Amino acid sequence: MNPMIHNLHVGNASFLDGEISSEWENAAMDVVAAAREAAGPDIEILIDAHGMYNVPTAIRLANQVAERDIFWLEEPVTVESWKALKQVNEQITPLVSAGERLHTRWDFVHIFENGLADYIMLDVT
């Protein structure tokens, strides 16, 4: 799921700023809390951030959703910037999933060599 989806046309038009307003961030956390309450403790909640966020925002969001016991956060930052993914991965609790926007085996080299994702989501094209 993407509880931050409503923010798409507010602050992240064209994915340029990587930020989320505090209003939409709070609303997203309410959605995650409601999902956790409805699903119970035994269901894994997976969140896709679509690589929309900058490093500080991704870290903040990931650590907030971790409080609601989510299983993974998919592409908290754009995976094309493996250095950004490394910064995020070192500072968050949730597992990281990445890879649907990588298309060749060489695109995955930094992900594998640096342990930047716990799960790989291939988009076989």
Q: Is 70 within a domain?
A: yes
In the chain, pLDDT over 90 holds for what percent of residues? Answer: 66
Residue 97 tokens read as 């999933």
Span 6-45, pLDDT tens digits: 766 555 455 567 888 899 899 999 999 999 999 999 999 9
pLDDT of residue 17: 77
CATH of the domain at 85: 3.20.20.120
The per-residue pLDDT for 18 is: 86
Beta partners for 48?
A: 74
Nearest to 4 by CA among 36, 66, 44, 47: 47
User: Bridge-partner residues for 97, per DSSP?
Assistant: 74, 119
Single pTM value for the model:
0.88
Mean of the per-residue pLDDT values of the chain:
89
Residue 58: inside a domain: yes
- Its domain, for residue 43, covers 5-120
How many domains, the chain? 1
